[in-house]
Structures are given as structure tokens and as C-alpha cells.
Homo-oligomer: A and B are copies of this chain.
Amino acid sequence: MDSTRQIIQKALAAGQQTLSEYDSKQVLAEYGLPITREALAADLETAQKAASEIGYPVVLKACGADVVHKTETGLIEINISGPDELAAAYGRIASGAQKAGQKLLVQEMIKGGRELVLGMVRDAGFGPCVMLGLGGIFTEALADVSFRPVPLHSHDVAQMQAELKSAKLLGSFRGMPAVDQSALTKCLSALGSIALQHPEIQQIDINPMIVQGADPVAVDALIVLGEPADQTAQAARPKVGLDKFFTPNSVAVIGASSSQGKPGNDVIKNIMANGFEGKLYLVNPKGGEILGHKVYQSIADLPRDVDQAIIILPAKANPDAIRQCAAQGIQTFVLAAGGFAEVDEEGKALQAELVKVIQETGVRCIGPNTSGHTSTPANYTSSFFPLGRVPKGPISYIAQTGNFATHTMRYIKSAENFGVARVLGVGNKLDVEESEVLEYLADDPQTKAIFMYLESFKRPRRFIEVAAEVTRKKPVVLLKGGATKEGAGAAVAHTAALAADDRVVDGALRQAGVVRIHKYSHLFLAAKALASMPIPKSNRVSFAAPSGAMLVCLTDLCRKQLNLEVPQLSPQNTQRLQDISPPYIKMRNPVDIWPAAAVGGVEFAYGEAVELALRDPNIDAVISVLMLTDETGIPDYQFLVDLAGKHPGKPLYITFSGQKEHMDKAKSYLEPRGVPTFPLIEDAFEVLDIICRCGQAMNRP
């Protein structure tokens, strides 16, 4: 039997772009994938001999290097029960197959109620990825498949199964046993090994993989060959780290300006407003003084101790400025200018020059086309958008949009009550890109949680390698737009066609434990929750609201649209709830707070309900829909702060029903004291769901 390498070499020598079904399965078999017993047959006699060895019933089908739709062209007959039937089938198929340049394949007939589809495709960014899905009609009707980059992690296969809409079919079902987990894991791992060891193999389809009893068997298979992709592009080169970006002792602004409202002026104001304690050097040919700081007339005049330069010069002037700075020993740069590859052909040429300068000098750069970065532990920002003093806190952001570190930071500052540690706009990311920043933030003691807003990954494979580590230590939340439709065009195999629509990105992020969000608002609402509250142990929530109808709707929201459970409190806590409520209402979780509030007052009722839940062993997180109207009484909100302080192990989120002015006051009181609030009720629940997913990612096997 030929080895995989021989099979591939022969096929390539013959100018084939695909392997025949027989050869494809030989490759699979070498890697331990269970395949049908089968044999090629040049004539009827060989076919009959093969069939009797395999055992009837058998399948007879055409087999060759060209992809042929066997069912549609009548080049397959199944369930052949004996030699005579085989002869008849042979008579019907043989001439057509030979006409199509195909051989005949006699194959074991596999019977099973469930068809899977497995596959492998090489993603341009994430590299080889394997696919698992429900096969046959399910694939085409539902595209019910899940992808993961290889090599697979221990929990990947279980997660991939759980993601399928028709996951139920893989369990014990209609008298059939559950699909053998270890066999399935072996199959997917084997596909990964094939991909890693044979770069000429571009795509693999196993369709169908029929589950016989509990055991999956590859019944048809297709391997697509092609030119190995260049893997060198993603190789990392040794580099100076990011420390000097985030904790510079001295900074130079190249292009400092004395004109109010100019970026070269605003950046100085920002640095001063944040109380930067290091040295600040300004450079402008005009010299003089700006905002109390001496201005150097040229880069060459700068002292030799500058850690970081912020270059606020037109695009054209950047390469030369970097060279001059590098000559002065400056190794890290923030390049503010736009006007590079994002703009036009001239910009592209300029960007190429910039890349060259970076390579030649070995310096590190953020940008160009960045809105800068901020590092509150160092009281520092390179932002030229007037941010003023950026509030300090434990949340760090990586953003690939000028909007974030500017308008959105302004929103956070003006509307929310939490602070940030590091914020970095990656801009055109010629050098510093998201995966390196993520790696830095992983070990940053000032960063408790990382939020990202990206349009693309510069080094996708590296990104998920880094993320897979970070997400075990800290929550990593990502908003990423842009379902890619690419790949579908060039797809020979089914797997490749299905690898569109963001499915590979989704699989890669899940594998890496990155929590993907889809709403911009959650970038700050979930951050607010993480800034002051712990991550719940699991997803069991208790909540109180002043309306039975609201409790029902919110329970539906928890269970149907989110992944939150609403279990009962312990018997003694349920009894206590009952004790504080009128007897006519049967108290349970979620808590109908109105009767207790009517009897004992808002503060008493909510206080009891929140504390019982915070103490309850069945509950991981607490949400209170606070009733705020003049008539029912406005409580002193301190009781919520006290309760949160007394039970620091569980998150408490507050939202409201009632008058807007009281909601605003409650927010102003509670948030600076560490209790997050949400003006619209559902937001509290959606955010909790995100935070629970973070916890699950951190605790994954």
C-alpha cells in the first residue's frame, strides 16, 4: 500500500488536483481514521471476489481523480445483496464510469441512522482548521458545522459538538447509542495531523461519515491538493518589548505646537493633564517654549535619555523623523499621522518606506494612523485628541478604530464611572499589533480585563495562541465586525465552502477562550461590570423586580435568549423571603419584591432580597430592578454599597423601574462606590451573560 507521501507525489506527477476517493481514504486510514473496507476492481470477476471478501451487501461506485457527482450521474449503486445483483449493477455502471475515466470501487455497505461530515480547510489567517457537522441533508439545509484551528485542545471536540444546532443527534437518540466521543476526537485530531504533516493537502472532505452504532466510518472522502502556502510571513522576529510604551520615563513630542486645538498642542495638554511625572521634551524648529516647556529646535538636540517619541508630523515627514530619532537612541514611537496605505497610492508608497525604516532601525512603532495610547498607571497618554485626565481603573482596551480612543473614551469619561489601565489604538499596525499588546496585558498587574474592538487580525494564528493563554487568567472580550465571504469562491471541497461567514473566526475565538460580543455598547457596559464586580462562579442568577409580569419576561430572557439559570434559593432563604412578604404571595426566585416593599419599605425589602441571594449557595450573581418613585419612597442607596462590600465574592448589578431623575441619582451614588447600574433593564442581564461566558472561558479544561 502506498504511503500518504507516495500517493500525493503520484497524484501531483499525474497533474491531479484531487485524490480519488480510494486514495483519499488510504490517506485517512494511514492516520487511523476508520474507513469502509473496499477494493478497486478492474473487471466484474475482481469485483465479485472483492465483494465476497468484504461481505454483502456492498456498494459499487465509480472512483477517480475527478470530482464526480456520483448520485446525480447514476455512477453509484448501494445495498447490493449478492453476486447477481452485483453483476447487474456492474453492467449499468461500468461503461459510464470508464467513459468518465473512472475505475470501479467495491465497498462495504455501512448502515447507520446518522451522517456526519468532517473536513479540513486551510484558512489564510488561522492556518489549518478542522470541521465537524451533521452530514447529508443537514449540512446543506442548515450549514450546521463547527470549525477549530489545529492542533485541537482537549475540550475542543466536546465544544464543537455542543455548538451544533442538531447536537442532540450525537447523543443517544432513537435507540441508537451516543456517538463514540473518543473515536470522534481521534478522527478530528487525525485530520489535524494530516494537515500539519502534508502542506500539499489543501482541503479534506469526509462526507458522509456514517455512524454505525456508536462508531463513525468514513464512507466517502475527497482530498484536494495544492501549492503549500508560505508560512514564513507570520514568523515573529525578536523585538524590544512594549514596556517603554506603557511606562516611559521620558517622552519627546516631535511636532509640538503652540497653536491651541492643533494635535501637536493637544498632546502636550493631555500628557500634562494626566500628571505624567517623567521628562517631557518638545521639538519644533521654531524653538521657544510651549505650555511652560522648553522647545528643542531639532531632534538632534534632544538628550540621549528619551524612551519614546510621539511623532505628530505629516505622513511624508515620518520616515526621516524616525531615522533621526533612532540615531538619538530612541527606540519606541507613536505615529499619529494618517495618510498612508489607508488613503491612496502615494500613501501606500510612503507606508512601504516606513516599513523599511522600521526594519532597518529596529525601532518599535504604534500606528501610523493611530489615535494614540494611554497608560494611566504611568499617568501617561500619547493621545492628541483632547481627553484631559483619563480615569484610572482596571480595564484595558485594544482598538482598531480612531473612534474608540477618542469619542468612545469621551463617552466613558462623561457617562460612566469606571476607569481604564491601558488603551491602545493600533492604527495601521505596521509593527505593534493586537497579539503583542494582548500578550503584554496578560502579565500587566494593572489590567483586570481586556476589551478589544478589531476589524482584522494582523497575525491571526499568533493572536489565538496568545489569547488561549491570556483568557485563562483574565477575561478577554472582543467586538469584531465583518463576516468574510471569501473562500467560498475557491472552494473545491464542501468544507472549504462552509468555511465562510465568519465560522472559522468563531471557532478560533471559542478555542482561544475569547468572548465575542456583537454590540458596541457592551464594550463599556460589560467593562463597567468587570471593573468593580467579581466574575461569578457560574451562571445562576437571583433577581428581584416590582412586577410579576416583569419577572416572567426576564426569566424568559435569561433562559431563552441568554444562558442564565434562575434556580430556587435554599429552603431557609425562601422561607425568609416568605416571612417578609404578605402570606398571599408565594415567594420564590425570581423575587416579586412589590408585596414585601409595600409592607416593609423599599430599602428593607430589597436589602433582604439582595442579601439572601448574595448569601445563598445556589446563587452566583444578583440583579436588582430597583423601584424608584416618589410615592414608594427613595431609599438611601448606601445599603446596596454595604451589601456589595459585605459579599465581595458575588456580583451585584442594579437596574431600575420608575423615575428617570432618581435613576440618574442612584447611578451617580452607586457607581463611584463600586456598584454598577444599567438604565435599561435588559442590559444588566445581557452583561451578566457576557461576564458568565468570561468565567467559563477562564475555567475551561
List chain A positions with a Cβ less than 8 A from chain B: 72, 113-114, 134, 137-138, 140-142, 165-166, 168-169, 173-175, 261, 339, 342-344, 347, 385-386, 399-404, 406-408, 410-411, 414-415, 453-455, 479-483, 518-521, 546-557, 560-561, 583-585, 594, 627, 629-631, 657-661, 663, 679-683
CB neighbours (8 Å) of A400 from chain B are 549
The answer to whether A546 and B174 have CB atoms under 8 Å apart is: no
Q: Is the CB of A631 within 8 A of B386?
A: yes
B682 near A482: Cβ-Cβ < 8 Å: no
Q: A584 and B344: CB pair below 8 A?
A: yes
Given contacts A173-B141, A518-B561, A682-B520, whether A660 and B411 have CB atoms under 8 Å apart is yes
Cβ contacts under 8 Å, A553 to chain B: 479-481, 518, 520
Copies in the complex: 2
A402 x B547 contact (CB < 8 A) = yes
> Is B482 in contact with A552, judged by CB distance below 8 angstroms?
yes
Q: Name 9 extra pairs, CB < 8 A, besides A407-B629, A411-B660, A518-B557.
A: A140-B174, A403-B549, A403-B594, A404-B549, A410-B658, A414-B661, A481-B551, A481-B554, A680-B680
Contact partner, A403, options B140, B556, B657, B660, Cβ 8 Å: B657
Smallest beta-carbon distance A363→chain B, Å:
27
Q: Contacts A142-B165, A482-B552, A659-B410: A681 and B520 contacting too (C-beta < 8 A)?
A: yes
* B518 and A411 contact, CB distance less than 8 A: no
Chain B nearest CB, measured from A471 CB (Å): 21
The listed residue (B415, B483, B657) touching A556 by CB distance below 8 A is B483
> Judging by beta carbons under 8 Å apart, are A658 and B479 in contact?
no
Q: How far is the CA of A682 from the CA of B242 in the complex (A)?
A: 35
Given A343-B584, A521-B680, CB of A402 within 8 Å of CB of B169: no
Query: Which B residues are in CB contact (< 8 Å) with A339?
Result: 584
**Complex Cα spacing A34 to B580, Å:** 63
Hey, which chain B residues are within 8 Å of A169, CB to CB? 137, 140-141
A–B complex contacts, Cβ < 8 Å, 17 sampled: A137-B169, A141-B168, A165-B165, A347-B584, A385-B631, A386-B630, A401-B548, A401-B549, A403-B547, A414-B659, A414-B661, A481-B553, A481-B556, A518-B557, A518-B561, A520-B681, A520-B682
Chain B neighbourhood of A141, CB < 8 A: 134, 165-166, 168-169, 173
A142, A407, A455, A658, most chain B CB atoms within 10 A: A407
Instruction: Give the shortest distance, in Å, between A360 (CB) and chain B (any CB).
Output: 27
Q: Which residue of A169, A483, A521, A680 has the most chain B CB atoms within 10 A of its CB atom?
A: A680
Asked if A411 contacts B658 (CB within 8 A), the reply is yes
**From DSSP, what is the main secondary structure of chain A's interface residues?**
mixed
Report yes or no: B660 in contact with A629, Cβ–Cβ below 8 A.
no
Q: Are A679 and B682 also in contact (CB < 8 A) when A113-B137, A549-B481 are?
A: no
How long is the Cα–Cα vector from A344 to B582 in the complex, in angstroms? 11
Contact of A481 among B342, B519, B555 (CB under 8 A): B555
Chain B neighbourhood of A594, CB < 8 A: 402-403
- A342 B521 Cβ-Cβ under 8 A: no
The 8 A-B pairs with the shortest beta carbon distances in the complex, nearest first, are: A481-B552, A403-B547, A415-B660, A401-B549, A343-B584, A481-B553, A414-B660, A141-B166
A171 to chain B, nearest CB (A): 10
Nearest CB in chain B to that of A343: its residue: B584
**Contacting pair A407 B546 (CB below 8 A):** yes
Q: With A400-B549, A518-B553 given, is the CB distance from A411 to B657 under 8 Å?
A: yes
Q: Is B548 touching A455 in the complex (CB atoms < 8 A)? A: yes
Nearest CB of chain B from residue A474's CB, rounded to whole Å: 23
- Which of B166, B408, B520, B658 lies in contact with A407, CB distance below 8 A? B658
How close is A258's CB to chain B, nearest CB, in angstroms?
A: 18
Q: Is the CB of B584 within 8 A of A483?
A: no
Partner of A659 from the list B401, B411, B481 (CB cut-off 8 Å) is B411
Given A401-B550, A455-B549, are A342 and B556 also a contact pair (CB < 8 Å)?
A: no
Give Cα distance in the complex from A343 to B483, angstroms.
53
- In the bound assembly, the distance between CA atoms of A680 and B408 in angstroms comes to 12
Question: Shortest beta-carbon distance, A564 to chain B, in Å?
Answer: 14
